[in-house]
Amino acid sequence: MSSWPRDWRELPMAGIINIAGSSLDYKTGTWRARKPVLYPDKCIKCQICWLFCPDMAINRLEDDSVEINYEYCKGCGICAEECPTKAIEMVEEVG
Amino acid sequence: MIEIRWHGRGGQGVVTSSQLLTKAAIYAGKYAIHIPEFGPERRGAPVRAFTRIDDEDIEIRYNVRNPDIVVVIDPGLVEMKEFITEGLKEDGVIIINRPVDMPISLDGYKVYSVDAYRISIDELGRPIYNTSMIGALLGATKIIPLEYLIKALEERFSGSVLEKNIRAIRRGYEEVRLV
Amino acid sequence: MSVTDTERMKRVGLNGDEAVAYAAKHANVDVVAAYPITPQTIMVEKISEFVYNGELDAEFIAVESEHSALSAAVGASLAGARVFTATASQGLALMYEILYIASAMRTPIVMALGNRAFSAPINIHCSHDDAYAVRDTGWLQFFAENVQEAYDLVLMAFKISESPEVLTPSIVNLDGFILTHCIEPLYIWNERYIQEFLPDRKPVEAIDYRNPKTYGPLALMDYYMLIKRQQYEVVRRARATIDRVFDEYSRWSGRRYRAIKTYMMDDAEYAFVVLGSTAGTMRSMVDKWRGMGRKVGLVSLTLYRPFPEDDLRRILSGVEAIGVMDRSHTYGGPGAQLYQEIASTLYSLDEHPRLLNIIYGLGGKDFGPEDAEAAYKYLMRPDVREVWLGVEG
Ligand code: SF4
Ligand code: SF4
């Protein structure tokens, strides 16, 4: 966003954001205090975590297994709360 | 400028009368304004409307205070003398809905009478007085040629309803009498 | 058929609501989203009739409230449609939060406002409460003096609002009942010729799924104030476009439109300033007073937002006393709305005319010659600063 103009004359009309998908630039993964850890052996591929994640930070793979995208995961813990087999656990973020 | 005040009761077509006359005057090439007075709109409640007609553009936008002509559509209101003559000009005209041979005391004014009840029952089968009363107004005062009123009426009605109302207008126009 | 009809224009008798409905039809609007409310009801009825009959190829969105009406209008306008809506009083109040969104998202919607008093007590008649209440929402505002002006202003408002340098919605005010329900003669266009003045809308930055963008983003400390400054400048500068479109329409129609109408102001010692249908009544009174040798003039505003302050300062400087007529009031403020604006407009003058605030005609209270005479008498009294006409004491 730093490249955006600071003069009202040059600003896009009504602040319209002309670049689609600019939210990808926000790496919200740095916001985490706790992080989800996935235990694939407990996972039954039900997709509940994928459905519930408010940041679309769970990737659904070809074979319906899931993985966590730590670039965007904010660490809210919803996936761990919803997982029926406790295949996700929230642990302290270190480093 | 000619200023007209219409008296009647809710549901008798007071507003419609003023609207029709205004449109007729506009079609006749005049400047005219119809001003409805919307108070508590209840069937049976006394209702008024105003019409202004002039050859020049009319700029003023307020209720008529000193009418040249008062048209009393409701027969019962004729008894409310102070109400219907309020502000009426000294040589003003009053047109009432009443059998022409029935005596009336509205001294000092030029009073015209038409039996709109009879006409509307004959022609429309129902006591809807407005078209016969506008006919009477034009018959008594000749302010607008009848053809323009019929043109205005054609916009609103069609078929047999139109025919019946045109007959009512013509009869009002012809049967109105100075009393 | 009247002799004054031409191939281009027809002389008809319509009430203000019907005339506005014809203007929307002649503007060939794409979308109408509105909820009926007295005294605007006939507009909505008439437009839905046009759509139903196939006379107007538009989407009529029958919404369940005014809040939805304006929300739908914003969406349709962003998608590139020419959009019309209409309301009054309480209905406008229900639109309130969306008014700011419509203007800030730069949707060139045109709204007709049948001016009506706010409840309570319940009243369906004219006050300018509603117009004043939304004066700060970023919409352009025009006041019609008669039915002809209401019709013409709707057509002009579309052209002004949709101009790429403006892209700001407009409100066309017409006095409730006094104009909405009164039948008057006016000239309406033969639709074939409308395109000469008002071509189809050419949307700027319209929503396009092939080219996605974010509309109405979050803007906090970094961008909010910048975006507001941008919008502020747009409304301020809209005046140039308004004057240009008024001139163009005046030439095209033969009816003269200006931001401000002045009458007998050249040598006026006393002046009244007024909005809406009372202007004609006051003009006839000025004629009368002039006949008696009194140097009175009249200023009526066709344009209310952006407020034509520079012109007013020029027109009103040198006048001894000014009666500012407000068909509304404010509780506990330093005078009613137009009064405040005239007062601040004149503040930068070295010599201040004396000001009288005339509160009149609230809730449709009839304003006639006797009321104008009373207003004049008060204007002659330096000890009176504010008067509630007809309910003094
Ligand atoms: S912790 Fe929250 S943000 Fe992260 S993957 Fe789970 S649900 Fe998504
Ligand atoms: S909710 Fe649990 S079991 Fe279901 S897919 Fe996600 S991790 Fe696997």
Counting one residue from chain B and one from chain C, the pairs whose CB atoms sit within 8 A come to 67
Do the domain assignments include residue A4? no
- Tell me the chain C residues in contact with residue A3 when contact means C-beta distances shorter than 8 Å: none
Same domain, C94 and C158: yes
Which tokens sit at C29?
């609007």
CATH number at residue A53: 3.30.70.20
- The residue ranges of chain A whose pLDDT is under 50 are 1
Q: Kindly state the DSSP code that residue A17 receives in the 8-state scheme.
A: B
Q: Residue A24: its chain C contacts at CB < 8 A?
A: none
Is residue C36 located within the same domain as residue C71? yes
C-alpha C92/C-alpha A13 separation (Å) is 26
User: Are C168 and C238 in the same domain?
Assistant: yes
CATH code of the domain containing C286? 3.40.50.920
**Domains: count for chain A:** 1
In this structure, is residue A84 part of a structural domain?
yes
Q: Which ipTM value was assigned to this complex?
A: 0.95
State what percent of residues in chain B have pLDDT above 90: 80
User: What's the average model confidence in pLDDT over C273-295?
Assistant: 98
**pLDDT for position C4:** 64
Does the pLDDT at position C2 exceed 70?
no
Q: Are strands B177-178 and A58-60 parallel, antiparallel or unpaired?
A: unpaired
Question: Residue A8 domain-assigned?
Answer: no
Instruction: Let me know if residue A16 belongs to a domain.
Output: no
Integer Rg of chain A from CA: 17
| Residue C1 lies inside a defined structural domain of this protein | no
In which band, very low, low, confident or very high, does the pLDDT at C1 lie, cut at 50, 70 and 90? Answer: very low
Strands C321-326 and C296-301: unpaired
- Domain range for C175: 9-253
User: Is the same domain home to C287 and C207?
Assistant: no
Select from B23, B28, B62 the Cβ nearest to the Cβ of C366. B62
pLDDT confidence of C279, banded at 50, 70, 90? very high
Which of C232, C253, C274 is a domain's end point? C253
Percent share of chain C, pLDDT over 70: 99
- Pick from C191, C218, C253: which residue ends a domain? C253
Confidence at residue B11, expressed as pLDDT on a 0 to 100 scale: 83
Helix H or strand E encompassing C171: strand C170-175
Residue B43 in this model has a pLDDT that exceeds 80? no
Range of the domain at A45: 33-95
Confidence at residue C104, expressed as pLDDT on a 0 to 100 scale: 98
Please give the mean pLDDT across all residues of chain C.
97
In a domain, A24, yes or no: no
C150 with C184, same domain: the answer is yes
The more confidently predicted of residues C170 and C221 is: C170
- By C-alpha distance, the chain A residue nearest C224 is A15
Nearest CA in chain B to C14: B23
Q: Which candidate in C14, C116, C149, C183 is best for mutational testing of the B interface (most B CBs within 10 A)?
A: C183
The string of pLDDT tens digits covering residues C225-248 is 999 999 999 999 999 999 999 999
Please name the residue whose Cα sits nearest to atom 6 of ligand 1. A79
**Residues linked to residue C27 through DSSP beta bridges, in sequence order:** none
Q: What is the pLDDT of residue A2?
A: 52
For residue A66, being part of any structural domain is answered with yes
Instruction: Compute CA C167 distance to the chain's CA centroid, rounded to the nearest angstrom.
Output: 17
Tell me: do C215 and C361 sit in the same domain. no
Residue A5 lies in a domain: no
C173 and C29 in a single domain? The answer is yes
Structural domain includes residue C209: yes
Residues C265 and C123 occupy one common structural domain = no
* pLDDT band, very low/low/confident/very high, at B40 (cuts 50, 70, 90): low
Q: Are residues C160 and C249 in the same domain?
A: yes
Task: Report which protein residue has its CA nearest ligand 1's atom 8.
Answer: A53
Buried b (16+ CB within 10 A) or exposed e, C199-223: eebebebeeeeeeebebeeebeeeb
- The answer to whether residues C336 and C193 belong to one domain is no
Whether residue B100 has pLDDT greater than 90: no
Say whether C182 and B36 touch across the interface (CB within 8 A).
Answer: yes
Tell me, yes or no, whether C4 lies in a domain.
no
Ligand 2 centroid, distance to C388 Cα (angstroms): 73
Q: Retrieve residue B72's tokens.
A: 């009393």
Question: What sign does the CA torsion over A13, A14, A18, A23 have?
Answer: positive
Indicate if C246 and C345 belong to the same structural domain: no
Helix (H, G, I), strand (E, B) or coil at C31: strand
Domains of chain B: 2-178 (3.40.920.10)
Give domain status of residue A12, yes or no: no
C177–B contact, CB cutoff 8 A? yes
Q: How many domains does chain C have?
A: 2
Name the residue among C212, C219, C233 with its Cβ closest to that of A15.
C219
Are C361 and C213 contained in the same domain?
no
Residue C129 domain-assigned (yes or no): yes
* Residue where a domain terminates, one of C253, C278, C302: C253
Residue from C233, C81, C240, C99 nearest C160 by CA: C240
A58 lines ligand 2 (CB under 6 A): no
What is the average pLDDT score of chain B? 94
pLDDT at B56: 96
Q: What is the pLDDT of residue C71?
A: 98
Q: Does C174 touch chain B (CB under 8 A)?
A: no
A43 Cβ inside 6 Å of ligand 2? yes
What integer pLDDT is reported at residue C332 of this predicted model?
A: 96
Instruction: Check residues A4 and B3 and name the one with the higher pLDDT.
Output: B3
**pLDDT tens-place string over residues C88-98:** 999 999 999 99
Confidence grade of residue B103 (pLDDT, cut at 50, 70, 90): confident
